[in-house]
Amino acid sequence: DPTAKDAVSVTAGGTTTADITTNIDVTPPAVVTTLPVSNATNVPYNGSILISFSEAIESDSLAGNFALNESATGAFVGGNAAILKDDSLLAFIPTGGIEFLTTYKLRLETGVSDKAGNGLAVPFEMFFKTEPQPPVGVSTMVPSKGVEGATVVVNGFGFDADLADNAVTFDGVAA
């Protein structure tokens, strides 16, 4: 509070220690850029979301103040978040629930605050639409590393129901 004042008493010949705060931050943080940009289309369904702020934010303030939802149904999309670049960049990686050719809404409430406790001046909201489903794709491969001859399980979509009609290669070598 920039208007807070406390008297400091000093007796003759004594010393007193006082904590003095200067340059009080009263400016709320703001969203500067996002990736994807608002209303983007053809966003990769397995990509991350980046939100750049005008100043460092308090990571604990994201709890209950950040949401990614499927726009039509409101279904919540969970994920993992990291605060980067001196606490001014939020990277969110959805862990499930992202579908192809679907619109999503990202919302930040005014409870998202900077290091001084100033919240966003207004809620922030953006929308984006994911890419259409390609004809074939790999969603997981386990293990991601292995020795020659190891068994690898490949999961995805668009594969032929007859396993013999599917060809898998690693660096051009048939598996």
pLDDT of residue 70 exceeding 90, the answer is yes
Reported confidence tier of residue 11, pLDDT bands at 50, 70, 90: confident
| CB contact at 8 A, 123 and 87 | no
pLDDT of residue 6 exceeding 90, the answer is no
pLDDT tens digit sequence for 99-141: 999 999 999 999 999 999 999 999 999 999 999 988 888 888 8
d(CA 169, CA 9) in angstroms, rounded, equals 79
Which of these, 101, 96, 102, 65, lies nearest to 80 by C-alpha position?
96
pLDDT tens digit sequence for 134-162: 888 888 888 888 788 888 888 888 888 88
Q: pLDDT value at position 160?
A: 82
d(CA 134, CA 136) in angstroms, rounded, equals 6
Q: Vertex 129, ends 97 and 78: CA angle to 5°?
A: 25
pTM: 0.72
